[in-house]
Each structure stands twice: as C-alpha cells, then as structure tokens.
Structure 1
C-alpha cells in the first residue's frame, strides 16, 4: 500500500517540558558562576598558583581570562548583583573600576581595570606589588560575591514558592469554610485534609526529612517530622487528631463527622500552617 500524497505518517515527537522563567534565570546564573571559575583557574595557572602535577587537569577546566571575556562576563554579572543583592553592587563595581578619582594607586585601590590595562605600580624603580596578582585577588572577590547571589537566588525561589503555596492554601481553606457553612461536612474536611497534607510534605522537603511513601498521608508525614525534631509531641498529637478527623471525612463509615470536628480540623490546619515551617 503506497503512502498518501502528503507523505508517510510520522509519530510526533514528545514536546520537551517547558522551563519556567525562574528556572531559566537560575541556569543562567549557574553558567555565569561557572564561567567565572574557569577564568579564575586561567589566572591562577598564569600566576603559577597551580602545582605542576595539577596543571594538566586544571588546563582542561579553564577559560582564557582576557579583556573581552571578562567584560562580557562583568556586564551580565553586575545585573545579577543589582537584582539579587543590590547592597553588594557598589563593592562589586569598585573591584572593577573606582567610581571616584584616586589620589594614588595602592594595593587597596588597584582594580581589575588596572590589571587589564597592564598597569604596574613602582617607586624608585621597584614594584610595590604584583598588579596581576592583585587583579586575581579582586576578581576572586567578585566571584565569591556572585556565588552569594546564587545562594540568594535559591532562598528567593523558596520564598516565592512558599508565598504561592500559602496563597493557594488560603483560598482552599476559604472554600472549605464555605462548604462547612453550607453543610457539606465531609467535603469540607476532605479538602482541608489535602491542605494539611500538602503543607506537611512541604515542611518535610524544606527540612530534608525523608518520607518513604510516594503519596504519604498525614500520619505518614507526622511521625518522621516529630522524630526529626521539627516539632514537639504536643504538635504531633494535634496533627494526629486532625488526621483522624480527616480520615473520618474521607472514608465512608457509620459514624458521621460533626460540624464541630470539621471546624476543629479547619482551624487546626490554619494553626499548623502558620506555626510549623
């Protein structure tokens, strides 16, 4: 049987997962930190900071430190500093070039720009210091500042995700209260239980507490968090009781949840979400 005029049918390729803007920015920042490290290695090789037995290994990992490569890196890096840790921006810039006129060039006032232009400082024909080594020291400081921006980015991401999660939980709690108000006790309790589960799972993740089950329940999360010292026995008992009410709402049994029980579940979940972080 011949193919159709349009050609043989093909199975469409699976579309790659879309990255969020935050993830792309995080990758770009990691790339900038990596480029800085490679240029720093190049400087250290040129200055003889690397032992002979390590030179071959380090040479493979380096990126030439030149005026154009540094300028390209600096332009991107200072924008990252401006956005994430603006209180370090002036320091970062001053390491490259002084923003105010200098009375003299000393070890403290010597900048990366001076090093790129090959400026050396001497007195009576004797060098006061090695400009290339000072440039390396100043660039290393810029590198560590950018590293701190990378760590700050992770904390910013965590804060953003936590705020978004809190907003989502607030809207779900509001919906649960509305269900309770209209007499849908089981639905209100089940929805609140989902909120409590999600919050405890996020707490476990932020504290590095390993949960063995793939889809853990409130009870599966409660014991490991208490054992890890995230909260005390009093809080553990409260969460255990909230989990019991949630189970009563989620599973059809002869016993029906009361309005007071569901209200306790909602208010207890709000308390836990505000106090257990």
Structure 2
C-alpha cells in the first residue's frame, strides 16, 4: 500500500471511530435523560402512595371533592411505598451522584439513619425509619413524638431533588458530553504524537488535523452555527464571522490549517518534525482554550 492510500485509510478509520463514539454517546446520554424523567414520574406515584398510606381520608376527600376524580380508581395505580421505594432510591442516588453531585449527600441524608443520633424527633426522622416502622412515643399516655407520617417531608425533599436534576439535566449532560469528547480528542492527539515519534510525520499531521477539525465542528454545533463545509479553514472562517474567536485566534488556527494541508496535499516535500510538533501543540492549545 503506497503512502497516499495509507493516509486515506488512517483518516478513514479515525473518522469512523469518531462517528461510532458520537452515536454511542448520544444514545447513552439520551437514555440517562429518559431515566431521570421516569424516576421523576415514579416519584410522583411514590409521593402519592406515602401520603395515601398515612392520610387516606384526607387523600380521598381531596380527590373526590377538589380534583373531582375517582379515588378508588386512583388507588389502584399506586405502588406500595415500602416495596417500590428501594429500587427507586438505588437508581436515583446513582444518577444524582453524577448529574447533581452537590445534592448527593442531602439525598442520602434524607434516607439513612444519622450516625450518632441520640433521639428520634420529627425533624430527624428519615425514610429508613419509615421502612422499619419506627414509632417514638413519650409519656404515660404514649403520645406519638415521631411516626411514619414524619417521613413524608423527607421524601418530598428527595422528590424535589430529582426535580432539580430534571431541570438542570440538559446542562449537566452537555458538561458530561464535553468531558467525554475532550477525552476522546486528547486520546487521538496522543496517537498523533506517537506517530510523530515513530517518524510517521505525514500521518501524524493528518490525525492532528482531524482532531482540530472535529473540535471546531463541535464548537459550531454547540453554538448552533450553520455549517456548510467541514474543513478547518471553513469552520475557522465561520467562528471568526460569528465572533466566537478573535483575530489572533483565527490567525493561529489558519496557520495550523496550512500545516495540515502540507501533510494532506503537498507531495513536493515532506513535513518537518518541527512543523508537526507545532501542529500537534497548537491543536492541543485550541482544544484547551477555544469552546
């Protein structure tokens, strides 16, 4: 296989890897979004279930007199809180750890019995207490100090945290997508560096150019810029036109595009090691600084 064909195949395989990864990533993140929506819906049912279990008369009155709905028909669709909660919690806590990490400890705290808790009150009664049928009484008349109904506010807060995840999920998934894409581009750039170390300078320049092109394309897509041609030069012009980059940044990318063209099209001379180093290092700088 001659060098020209080898370069075409290298470029083909790198592009294919990008496409396969992008499709898989989109499917995975779309599934995460669907899972959060499902958990939110299940949370509504669980909230109604725990309220109905503790205050059935009030719930029936509310549905019959206020909502004008068939209460008995409504009850048929409710889960049993104790059996349905644990699977819901296990899935929800995992997603919150990823999508809303600042609220993860709050979510867990509302479920787990506090370590070192000296006494149980309505204020520190948690869902784990509810699941174990904990009831605290005081005095000769066994007045209930804290019972199962005290778990309702705790679950309401958990449900609201899931609501917060749902409200911020698009930005959270965008952040995750950016991190994954950045990791992929870094890995491809490492391949270019390895090719350069093995004196495969033209191939290294082709791979670095593909990485730069893909990064610029992602910037345009995130900013909803209409892409007509997906070359480094065209994408660079589009970003400058829409004032995403300033003139020094535009000029820097233009120089990188020229170095890439030497690797792709200029057969009159081989690219120099210093040029490939400039292309790889310059691409790395763009990936790290231009968004």
Structure 1 and Structure 2 fold alike (TM over 0.5): yes
2:240/2:247 contact within 8 Å kept: yes
How far is the alpha carbon of 1:158 from its aligned partner? Answer: 4.2
2:126 alignment counterpart: 111
Is 2:253 the partner of 1:270? no
Q: Normalised by the size of structure 2, how large is the TM-score?
A: 0.60
* Residue 197 (structure 1) shift: 0.7
Using structure 1 for the length normalisation, give the TM-score. 0.62
Q: Which of residues 172, 186, 197 is equivalent to 2:192?
A: 172
How many correspondences in the alignment? 247
SS in 2 for 1:96: coil
**TM-align CA RMSD:** 4.8
Alpha-carbon distance in structure 1 between the residues aligned to 2:48 and 2:120: 30
Q: Does 1:36 align with 2:43?
A: yes
Aligned pair 1:143/2:163, yes or no?
A: no
1:81 deviates by: 5.3
Q: CA deviation at 1:161?
A: 4.1
Structure 1 partner of 2:20: none
User: Per the alignment, do residues 276 and 136 of structure 1 end up closer, same or farther by CA in structure 2, a change over 3 Å counting?
Assistant: same
Runs of 4+ aligned residues of structure 1 deviating over 6 Å after TM superposition are: 82-87, 120-131
Q: Equivalences for 1:78-93 in 2 at 5 Å?
A: 78=93, 91-93=106-108
Unpaired runs of 5+ in structure 2?
A: 1-22, 53-58
Secondary structure of the corresponding residue to residue 64 of structure 1: coil
CA–CA distance in structure 2, aligned partners of residues 221 and 252 of structure 1? 21
More helix by share: 2
- Looking at structure 2, the residues matched to 129 and 242 of structure 1 have their Cα atoms a distance apart, in angstroms, of 69
Equivalent residue for 2:223?
208
Residue 194 of structure 1 and its aligned partner are, at CA, apart by 1.4
Contact 2:189 2:280 in 1 (8 A): no
Contact 2:182 2:287 in 1 (8 A): no
Structure 1, gaps ≥5 residues long: 1-17
**Aligned residue for 1:23?**
28
